[in-house]
Structure formats: structure tokens, C-alpha cells
Amino acid sequence: MKKKIIVSAFSNLYTDQRIEKVCKTLFDNGYPIELIGNNWGGNEKMDRPYPFSRIALKSKSLKTAYFEFNWKLYKELKKKADKDTILHANDIDALLPNYLIAKKLDIPLVFDSHEIFTEMPSVQNRFSQKFWRIVEGNLIPHVKFMMTESESYAEWFHEKYNVRPVVVRNIPRKILSAPEIPHNQPKIILYQGAINQSRGIEKMIVAMHHIKDAVLKIAGDGPKKKEYEELVVQENLQDKVFFLGKLKPENLREITKTADVGFSLEENNGVSYYYSLPNKVCDYIQSRVPLVMIDFPEMQRIRNQFNVGEIITDHNPETIEKAINLILERGRPYYQSELSKAADVLCWENEETKILTLFEQASH
């Protein structure tokens, strides 16, 4: 009988594709899974083949929500974990209670760092950054089983804490047959993902002034949505920029396939962004949609291997518009064979074995 795995995260679980994929991989391979999240930012109905629960938070601010969640998660884990459990903590904001219970019961803990949490723009230069750095610095050197999302993250953690995380990229499951290429008129430029700062979204909106016969669709939700909607009105681009809202993963996949070009234009707002491989990059690749990327290490790494689109080195609207126009002129067929080669390599099926090996090691 395989050990039970309790997976926990400061997340409402609904849109977290990485957690969903990791749990499914473990569940499909015979591990009993229990998933714990919280209701911060939503309580949508979900169907999963394993039990899950969301800790109810009363906090009104994110800072107090973190503390409340950690305290309540500790109590939950204390109730649910036993000698035959593996704990699986996602990100620093769920690590402390997992670490304490793992120590107390002398059971294995697997830590998954989805990003370099302490270097995220949202915590920079705040009291919370100091707090999470203390947690990170005190716990990570003692974590035996760890995975993270990119080669660059793994190198950062190794240099800082002398740990060697397994790299499990957050990339989509394989789309087996290449989707049909639509004949859109006007052409469709797609952004998908969180509508946060430092994602290059507002630069793309402004660039739309000079991109002819195309519309920009923005799929997702986030703290900057209202501000960007106002920018669209201010720039008088209501007939060229459309917000699609938050979509279920399966509906988003259908939208992605219809795009002519995607983009991933993160700004260098701390090493967490700089070293990231944004999910959307490989989502576009799986849907065989060429894209414009900023020249960060992980995106450069992909572009050096496969010609899946264009790389740019700055966020000037002129630079963006030139790269987008080039892809639109060439059209999707121009990039298809390279996109298909990349899709064979950059798929979840190639990451799963690394997860299973790690949990196998943790089981012994």
C-alpha cells in the first residue's frame, strides 16, 4: 500500500494547474491523495477524483490571511497526518506548518517552490518579505526533497542554500494532434494568465494603436484588470482590446487554439520573474501558437532550441509591435514544424517521471 500524501497550498485550488497536475500524476500512480487549500480569492465548485478541502479564512488582509492559514493548516495536518503520510507543501507560505508536523512525526516532506516567493514583486520591500526570508533561510537548507519550476530557480536555490531541487516545469499535458489553424479576420493576439503588474500587458495595449487588422484578447483576472480596462478606454481602443474574464482551464485551451500569436513579456521585477518560465509560454506552444517572448533566461533557452516565435529585448511599444507584426505577416504555418517539435519535448508527460521518482525516494 502506498503512503498517503497530504498536499497543501495557500490557494483556492481552482485555477492552480500545477497542483492539479501533480495531484493527478500521484493519484493515477496509486497514491491516496488529500488536498488542502483555502477560500482566499474564491470558493468555486470543483470536481476532483480525490478528497479536497478549503480552510475558511476570516482575515480581511493578505498579511493576516497568511498567519491565519498557517495556524489553521498546522491544526489540520496535526489531525490528518500519521506515520504513513508524506507531506507535500507548495510554496513558502505553506511550508512552516508542514515542516513542523514532519519534524514532530518524523515523516517525509516534499517541498515544491512554484517561484522564488521571497523575490516576488508583491512582497518586495515589505515587512512580509523579511518574514518569509526568515522562514526560507531557516527551513529550506533542511528540506531533503524539493522540486521547483525552472532550471534558473534550481540554480538560485542551490547557490543560496546549497540544496539541489528537482526541476519539474509547469508545462501542459500534450495536445496530441495539432489544432487546425483558423483563418481569423481580424487576427487574434492573445494574453492568458493573471492580470498582474509587470506582465507587459499595458505595453501591449498601447502597441495596439499600430497593429493593423488585429484584436487583442486578454483572458484571465487579477488585481490590475480594472486599471487596464480604464487604460483601454483612455486610449480609445475599445474596438481592439477585449477582456474575456477568468476561464476554466478547458475553456481557455479552446480559446488558445484560436489565436494567431501569443506573448509573454514579463518585466524584470525581481529574480522570481526574471528566472521564471511562465505557464503560458508552453500553453501557446502546445496549441501550436507562435509567440513573442522577452529575453529572460528560460524563454531564451526555449528559443535557442526551437524557433517558436520572436525574442525581444525591451518593452517599447514599437519593439513589441514590430515582433507581433512579423509573426502575423508570416502566419502560423511558418512556425508549425518547430512548434510541433517543441510540443513533443515541453509536455507534462516528460515531467511526470521526475515527480514519481522524487516521491518514491521520499517513501523510503
Percent of the chain with pLDDT over 70: 99
Q: Spell out a b/e string for 123-153, using b for 16 or more CB atoms within 10 Å of the CB, else e.
A: beeeebbebbeebbeebbeebebbbbbbebb
Asked whether residue 226 falls in the same domain as residue 302, the answer is yes
What are the C-alpha distances in Å from 312 to residues 223, 238, 274?
26, 27, 14
pLDDT at 113 over 70: yes
pLDDT at 124 over 80: no
Domain span including residue 90? 4-171+348-363
360 vs 128, more confident: 360
CATH number of the domain at 271, please: 3.40.50.2000
Asked whether residue 35 falls in the same domain as residue 119, the answer is yes
What letter does residue 185 receive in the DSSP assignment? S
- CA–CA distance, 285 with 336 (Å, rounded to integer): 10
Q: What is the pLDDT of residues 199-217, one digit of tens each?
A: 999 999 999 999 999 999 9
Q: What is the pLDDT of residues 215-225, one digit of tens each?
A: 999 999 989 99
Q: State mean pLDDT over 272-282.
A: 92
Decide: 339 and 290 in contact? Cβ < 8 Å.
yes
Asked whether residue 303 falls in the same domain as residue 328, the answer is yes
Asked whether residue 299 falls in the same domain as residue 228, the answer is yes
Asked whether residue 157 falls in the same domain as residue 195, the answer is no
Asked whether residue 352 falls in the same domain as residue 338, the answer is no
Q: Is residue 199 included in any domain, yes or no?
A: yes
pLDDT of residue 198: 86
Q: State mean pLDDT over 281-292.
A: 97
Asked whether residue 269 falls in the same domain as residue 133, the answer is no
| Number of separate domains in the chain | 2
* Residue showing cell 489531525: 79
- ∠ at Cα 72 (24, 102), nearest 5°? 65
Instruction: Read off the amino acid at residue 64.
Output: T
pLDDT of residue 212: 92
Asked whether residue 55 falls in the same domain as residue 144, the answer is yes
Q: State mean pLDDT over 345-353.
A: 96
Q: State mean pLDDT over 326-338.
A: 96
pLDDT of residue 188: 98
Asked whether residue 308 falls in the same domain as residue 204, the answer is yes
Name the average pLDDT for the chain: 94
Asked whether residue 124 falls in the same domain as residue 98, the answer is yes
